[in-house]
Structure 1
């Protein structure tokens, strides 16, 4: 019994030491971003975003192309298109919807909307689906080129949206203004909590509140590349053609699981300037893309596994590193998801093992569980960093979604940790399968469209 307790205690100590050191590194990393945000923008930037009407009018007129890839989206694509057509405040745009020949339900819905409004253009992919989202977008790109030739006028910008997105009325006018000075423009993404799924779907509120309220702001200020989110983003048409000229199938890399993220970084590498536009409309609303995110544990794990596979694993191989310190730091932050998940899992195991050892030792009349001064110091520092982290998260979530959600975001971190661990495990398996020759495939999740008749 004594030997078993001693062994268990030793294992718990070593695991705790590993986790504590890794938590400290991650905590200092996050703290540095927080301090940069506070020092350079602060609360004023979070709540006092300038209004889009203050921007100058576009100098160069032109029409805008909105790309919407759609595989198995019959349940939402009709609502999304009708809402976009009703909400977009812009005189000249066209929505291209990429469909597949073996998905007749989605195609039928899109064609029905297109029959009533010529601004919707169904595009039937040359291959059966699902392929990858990037491959679908390349098919849409080919249709755009054909339309440009027939129209005799090139599009000014290409905007990406998903089939479940709720668009902002002013976003096209914002893109029209800013794309003249930038190769890529990204507006915030605001997840909506799915009714009945405050904990799973709600954790997206927490993560995007910080990512699009602080992290992208700091990223741009440091001069690092601004990655595209894949929705609510606009690309200069000539920049996409420049990228497409270096490929055989279009500007979107069909072998990538996170083509949007990679595209933002590649544009920066080519000298293009990306920007994160956090602006408000005249009515005070934030010009952003809103959407429901996965509401079940399985769906959230699948979606995040795709992100981890594409960014943290394949992205490391495909994009590498740069000579820029700021850019390398941001890429390191993008790619730390797998290590963070391992650290969280090790921390939980260490905590449970240490607790079990203490309880067993106490029951046997041989108390154990003494912590050395070094580990105790690490634990105390990490506790302080954790409190700071939860306060910052609550601040950003509260500002974006109300203080009730801000308070719930603190215990909801445990759900986010569980999803991170499970998605990292799935991502690792998917990565190994791809390395063995399995073709990347569109591992999409089921979507729902919110009731836009009520305030979002």
Structure 2
């Protein structure tokens, strides 16, 4: 046979393959058209009927609600340098305070553990969890260890978390995320936020195809799914589970809430909760104030409302290899493991979306081969157009009415598909990304095809059992938010600055009492002054130091900070500086606390670190109305007995020995700092109940512990009279 005859036979075979592919594509297109029609019909109905009867609901309504305690869960395997950035960003951006972050790490990942340890020192609301088994296991296994740690934290604090939020270490959270969860947890058990990938520019096709897919899927498909069947698959990030849901999952899993063999535990868990009759929601909530959406896209052509939706943002893989690896894991988990775990049900609506989840394993192959055939046909058309006297290969397709009809119908549906995608891409990313999205479609088809091949290969290599496929982690990147570091210890800073010698540092470490910090020991041994300690703490925290006289601050400044706020955060206002309120603190303040102060006081706040005791005395004198906190009237009685130097020594000692009940409780090791901070959310420092009584009531400490700490305070906080007597009797400092 000649080449032309062989090529003609090949085209005949190709024609029937094309017919089969076009029939399958038509079925898929009708499926997608149903979703389009349902979405737009529902949106029109809600615009004309539903929203006209409702009062506007915006972020201001969320801000009025009392903050429930929330727990954020982050599985981390080889995430050095990522967790710290997320914690810092959350602290500075989240318009919320009553939350704790629990980071799951592995015993054989010491680098990530060290990174998390450093973060925990800077952020008291971040906690390290070390999984029982070496990694990498699976995301589900890591989350199970995290949840066990959260429940243990609850036992110690007697605080019950209302919501458990799932995030990855590289997620960039929206400012109003936790407030939105806080509002919806009253009636919802699973809350899923949209995910919008960061844009690398319109011509980054690999990263860009993610934003195309997520824009349409989370802008339309998930909305229809929730409306029709009330079931929402978690995206694995930006998912909040109610306390009721976590306890039910733990009970049903015999202590393991998540399926440890699942590569997409987020997808699996939504079905389990639906079977138990729990309420699930995929929520689109837009903020009206741009300050609550600082990481939204900046394009002016994006939707005003859709562009400010509360969502999760993250970078997705930029290379073909990493993208294929990530998507193959999704396919194994959703399609192959999903078919093994979740059988067809009696609910046709649920079956319909199961079909949509699983059709991808076919659709991706169909799309890829359809693209190849289209390239063939386009090449033949070009040949026909250029060589008028050549062979008429296109007649094999042109003379077939069915082929022409299918091509025409599928082409119309294809244009609709492109148009729909452009609508949803434009909504969040703007018109430029929308116009480029059709070009990225072909590249996305290739990625999905290769991911399918890899997923099938992985399952075959495991003897056809998809549950045996290992967790294939995707490398993460994170936007740069700060270059601040943890810094050196107090002892190292003092020796490096030549304030104390190595011998003095060693002496302090050896003679440090169990109820003392190192700085307090150095003060007691008179190796340093209170100002030197304050300057060292300020250097460690990368803030300024200022010597503060708490009794000379005017009432106008004091009134800028309510007693409830000052006592809660243990800060003392000292002045206004170009409209910014400057407050003093004796210790490092977390970014979470400073951000919360700014929200509550409705103005910009900066803090300085002052000498020991200044804030404690200022709070007692000005806010707790304890006149005896001011030592000056008593000292004035001894004006003729004390020299100026002796008077200053007595005053310094009086400041240095001051300690608040909560600080004393932590220093003697009777309560952990994170637990103390969590309990302070529930305590009203301006009420009649004392802090010790409150903690006894919560069964955190016993009455005997309260008395022990009060005794410690009395021993430490000697009166001015005693200090003066010692000075005058001995003639030396005390």
Displacement of 1:106? 1.2
Q: Which residue of 2 aligns with 1:405?
A: 433
The 1:403/1:185 distance shift into structure 2, 3 A limit, reads: same
Alignment of 1:45-56 (within 5 A): 51-54=58-61
Which residue, 336, 349, 364 being the options, matches 2:359? 336
The 1:357/1:87 distance shift into structure 2, 3 A limit, reads: closer
SS in 1 for 2:81: coil
Matched, 1:319 2:347: no
Partner Cα separation in structure 2 for residue 279 and residue 329 of structure 1: 27
Q: Is the 8 A contact 2:85 2:480 kept in 1?
A: no
SS in 2 for 1:121: strand
Cα displacement string for residues 209-231 of structure 1 (whole angstroms, at most 9, x for unaligned residues): 11111111111111241111011
Displacement of 1:359? 7.8
Displacement of 1:355? 5.6
SS in 2 for 1:395: helix
Cα displacement string for residues 122-163 of structure 1 (whole angstroms, at most 9, x for unaligned residues): 001111110000000001011111111111222111000101
Which residue, 429, 443, 458 being the options, matches 1:415? 443
Matched, 1:234 2:263: no
Q: Is the 8 A contact 1:224 1:330 kept in 2?
A: no
Q: Is the 8 A contact 1:157 1:236 kept in 2?
A: yes
Partner Cα separation in structure 2 for residue 261 and residue 432 of structure 1: 22
Partner Cα separation in structure 1 for residue 43 and residue 138 of structure 2: 38
Partner Cα separation in structure 2 for residue 85 and residue 105 of structure 1: 23
Matched, 1:85 2:91: yes
Q: Which residue of 2 aligns with 1:441?
A: 470
Alignment of 1:113-124 (within 5 A): 113-124=119-130
Q: TM-score scaled to structure 1, two decimals?
A: 0.93
Q: Which moved more, 1:249-258 or 1:381-390?
A: 249-258
Which residue, 381, 389, 394 being the options, matches 2:417? 389
Alignment of 1:40-79 (within 5 A): 40-42=42-44, 51-54=58-61, 62-79=68-85
The 1:6/1:96 distance shift into structure 2, 3 A limit, reads: same
Matched, 1:345 2:368: yes
Matched, 1:199 2:201: no
Q: Which residue of 1 aligns with 2:459?
A: 431
Partner Cα separation in structure 2 for residue 435 and residue 147 of structure 1: 41
SS in 1 for 2:135: coil
Q: TM-score scaled to structure 2, two decimals?
A: 0.59
The 1:106/1:364 distance shift into structure 2, 3 A limit, reads: farther
The 1:209/1:44 distance shift into structure 2, 3 A limit, reads: farther
Alignment of 1:148-187 (within 5 A): 148-187=154-193
Q: Which residue of 2 aligns with 1:380?
A: 408
Query: Taking CA–CA contacts closer than 8 Å with sequence separation of 6 or more, which of the two structures ends up with the larger relative contact order?
Result: 1
Q: Is the 8 A contact 1:197 1:295 kept in 2?
A: no
Partner Cα separation in structure 1 for residue 64 and residue 444 of structure 2: 42
Q: Which residue of 2 aligns with 1:110?
A: 116
Displacement of 1:281? 2.4
Q: Which residue of 1 aligns with 2:392?
A: 367
Q: Which residue of 2 aligns with 1:24?
A: 26
The 1:276/1:52 distance shift into structure 2, 3 A limit, reads: farther
Q: Is the 8 A contact 1:224 1:326 kept in 2?
A: no
Q: Which residue of 1 aligns with 2:216?
A: 210
Displacement of 1:50? 5.5
Displacement of 1:190? 0.9
Q: Which residue of 1 aligns with 2:590?
A: none
Which residue, 266, 276, 293 being the options, matches 1:270? 276
Matched, 1:3 2:5: yes
Q: Which residue of 2 aligns with 1:310?
A: 333
Cα displacement string for residues 173-211 of structure 1 (whole angstroms, at most 9, x for unaligned residues): 110110110110011111102369621101111111111
SS in 1 for 2:74: strand
The 1:197/1:245 distance shift into structure 2, 3 A limit, reads: farther
Alignment of 1:246-265 (within 5 A): 246-265=252-271
Q: Is the 8 A contact 1:357 1:368 kept in 2?
A: yes
Displacement of 1:237? 1.5
Q: Is the 8 A contact 1:69 1:137 kept in 2?
A: yes
- The runs of at least 4 consecutive aligned structure 1 residues that moved more than 6 Å come to 356-364
SS in 1 for 2:205: coil
SS in 2 for 1:41: helix
Q: Is the 8 A contact 2:202 2:432 kept in 1?
A: no
Displacement of 1:76? 1.6
Partner Cα separation in structure 1 for residue 268 and residue 462 of structure 2: 18
Displacement of 1:377? 0.3
SS in 1 for 2:468: coil
Partner Cα separation in structure 1 for residue 460 and residue 389 of structure 2: 46
SS in 2 for 1:222: helix
Displacement of 1:249? 4.5
The 1:364/1:173 distance shift into structure 2, 3 A limit, reads: same
Q: Is the 8 A contact 2:166 2:239 kept in 1?
A: yes
Which residue, 208, 211, 219 being the options, matches 2:225? 219
Matched, 1:295 2:318: yes
SS in 1 for 2:127: strand
Displacement of 1:242? 0.9
Matched, 1:99 2:114: no
Q: Which moved more, 1:362-371 or 1:341-350?
A: 362-371
Q: Is the 8 A contact 1:8 1:353 kept in 2?
A: no
Displacement of 1:321? 1.8
SS in 1 for 2:313: strand
